[in-house]
Amino acid sequence: MGDRVAVELTAFGEDLQVGHRPASAPQPGAVTVDVTHAGVCGTDMHLQQGRMEIPLPMILGHEAVGRISALGNEVTTDVLGAPLQPGDAVSWASNIPCHECFHCTSDEPSLCETRKVYGINQSSGVWPHLSGGWAEQIYLQPGSTIVKIPEGVGPEQVIALGCAGPTAVHAMGIGGPRPGDVVIVQGSGPVGLACAMLATLAGAVKVIIVGGPAGRLDAARAAGIGDVHVDIFTESDSVDRAAKVRAETPDGRGADLVIEATGVPAAVAEGIDLTRRGGTYLVVGQYTDHGTTPINPHHITKKQLRVLGSWAFSPRNHLDYVLSVPELARRFDLEKLVTTYPLTDAGRALADMRGGTVLKPVLLPGQVSSS
Ligand SMILES: [Zn+2]
Ligand SMILES: [Zn+2]
């Protein structure tokens, strides 16, 4: 089978290592995929810095698309029943829930605490080794949810929203807008932009994006995402900024729905402030623990807010995201969000993401010479 080039995190806070890991033929129920595009996500930045407890070594990358290399026995179709063959372009859910715990059996598998997640809790130190997206090949274990990339869209369009797309689909299921709503999105990273796009598709009449830096807002505008864009770096006073944003809502009363996608605890008090009386505040972006923040809970009662949280996504959300890509691609210029790098430049991609100079770094394993 030979070895495949893979990018591994071997020690927290250290540079990524480019090396090789052995490929294996797929066992019954498994599938091997030659990765064509692997996304770099904000979570990867946190993983590299050791903000979440994960086993090492790890081939990072929990969002990727590729072409089927080989199918194990028992695998003949994708999750929708379409026949699968080597060479088919596919996407797959990054996680495999256990299907047995309280949360899985209560129909909220995104909360499963023992689910397997490629690139996050499947160490490359143990077989089948190729368990993350930042490699020439990935070994998809039995139970993976695989879907063919829909006709008419390309892998770059699917990976443009990587895990942000399914994360936003899940969040919209928990507290999405009603047609006619005015929506504020706090944060202009991939999750914020994915939420903004899905809010528009769901019938929001106005989507106001409050984020930054300027390059990210420019990319959002260029892709047709959001109706109003407020830069938190030029509007750096939070009181003035909130007044300016509220002035964009009907009668200045605040938005029907405010979606938090910043990962910054201090954004929550501002988000509560921007939500109208009787409105909904949906907290999606606090994926890693950055500590506590002052809020005034009186405002939650007085404004009679619905305050909701949304954690990660299920394989079903991933499928729904992939099926929505043709409509997203018709409405928005998804490729404008993507900046590509050779696989072996993963460290540079991660640094650029940390610097906020790119919105969605995507690694191209096809751009390394196979050994
Ligand atoms: Zn992610
Ligand atoms: Zn479970």
Please indicate, yes or no, whether residues 327 and 278 belong to a single structural domain of this protein.
Answer: no
Q: Grade residue 41 by pLDDT with cuts at 50, 70 and 90.
A: very high
From ligand 1's centre to the CA of 295, what distance in Å? 27
Residues 51 and 288 sit within 8 Å (Cβ to Cβ): yes
From ligand 2's centre to the CA of 121, what distance in Å? 15
Tell me the angle at which helices 190-201 and 214-223 cross, rounded to the nearest 10 degrees.
Answer: 30
Please indicate, yes or no, whether residues 7 and 49 belong to a single structural domain of this protein.
Answer: yes
Residues 263 and 285 sit within 8 Å (Cβ to Cβ): yes
pLDDT at 356: 84
Residue at 219: amino acid letter: A
pLDDT at 69: 98
Please indicate, yes or no, whether residues 184 and 292 belong to a single structural domain of this protein.
Answer: yes
Domains of the chain: total? 2
**Rounded to 5 degrees, what angle do the CA atoms 132, 136, 137 make?**
60
pLDDT at 368: 54
Please indicate, yes or no, whether residues 203 and 280 belong to a single structural domain of this protein.
Answer: yes
Average pLDDT, the chain: 96
d(CA 163, CA 89): 18
Q: 120-129, pLDDT tens digit by residue?
A: 999 999 999 9
Q: 15-32, pLDDT tens digit by residue?
A: 999 999 999 999 999 999
Q: Which numbered ligand comes closest to the C-alpha of 168? A: 1
Domain range for 81 is 3-161+313-367
Q: Grade residue 370 by pLDDT with cuts at 50, 70 and 90.
A: very low
Give the domain-ending residue among 291, 309, 327: 309
CATH of the domain at 82: 3.90.180.10
Please indicate, yes or no, whether residues 276 and 352 belong to a single structural domain of this protein.
Answer: no
Residues 323 and 176 sit within 8 Å (Cβ to Cβ): no
From ligand 1's centre to the CA of 249, what distance in Å? 31
Please indicate, yes or no, whether residues 317 and 353 belong to a single structural domain of this protein.
Answer: yes
From ligand 1's centre to the CA of 314, what distance in Å? 13
Contact partners, residue 322, CB within 8 Å, separation at least 6: 91, 147, 149, 150, 158, 165
Q: Which numbered ligand comes closest to the C-alpha of 133? A: 1
Q: 246-261, pLDDT tens digit by residue?
A: 999 999 999 999 999 9
From ligand 2's centre to the CA of 52, what distance in Å? 20
Please indicate, yes or no, whether residues 106 and 52 belong to a single structural domain of this protein.
Answer: yes
Please indicate, yes or no, whether residues 175 and 301 belong to a single structural domain of this protein.
Answer: yes
Please indicate, yes or no, whether residues 67 and 198 belong to a single structural domain of this protein.
Answer: no
Mean pLDDT of 276-283: 98
Please indicate, yes or no, whether residues 152 and 223 belong to a single structural domain of this protein.
Answer: no
Query: With 70 as the cut, is the pLDDT of residue 161 above it?
Result: yes
Percent pLDDT > 90 in the chain is: 95
d(CA 359, CA 41): 9
pLDDT at 367: 73
d(CA 297, CA 272): 9
CATH of the domain at 220: 3.40.50.720
Query: With 60 as the cut, is the pLDDT of residue 288 above it?
Result: yes
